[in-house]
Amino acid sequence: MAHQVLAGIAVLTVGVIYGTDVFCALVQRSAMARVDDRVLTAAMGYIHLYGDRRLKFPGAIGLLATIATAVTAVLTGAGAVSIAAGCTAVAALVVWFVIYGRISAPVNAALTAAAEAGSTPPDARALQRTWDSVINPRSALQGIALAGLFISAVTA
């Protein structure tokens, strides 16, 4: 029972980040490609300002609950499929956090600083292309984590 509760918490919190990343991949990327650099900087800078502040909580809880789900699967002998799925979910989120930390977060910080200063960096479009280059993999990793959590819960 604890395993399913933890998996449920993980699904809800990982789902927040998954939905955000999928929205960015399907909608935001195309919309921002159609605006000028000043609007791009202001919009994305403020989106990142609030996103980075407010999405830390569900991101961190999602990772912790996913780890707890995998550990609980092992400790309760939930079965090989449940354990493998939980471990896959953890691995996907760890890779997501590495991509976010190394590629997305520096872009977020640069665009946020520029937006708050009311300036437009000369490389605004290049910064956004860098950010856009990892949004599909980030979305896929979150999707893999959600699938792993679901499989872990239902096969326990």
Per residue in 123-140, pLDDT tens? 999 999 999 999 999 999
* Whether 10 contacts 69, CB under 8 Å: yes
> CA separation (Å) from 111 to 54, 97, 114, 132?
17, 19, 5, 13
Tens of pLDDT, residues 2-54: 999 999 999 999 999 999 999 999 999 999 999 999 999 999 999 999 999 99
Residue 156: pLDDT over 90? no
Average pLDDT, the chain: 97
**88: which residues sit within 8 A by CB, 6+ positions away?**
144, 145, 148
Q: Residue 154: what residue type?
A: V
Question: Quick one: angle between helices 135-154 and 56-75, nearest 10?
Answer: 40
Predicted local confidence at residue 102, as pLDDT:
98
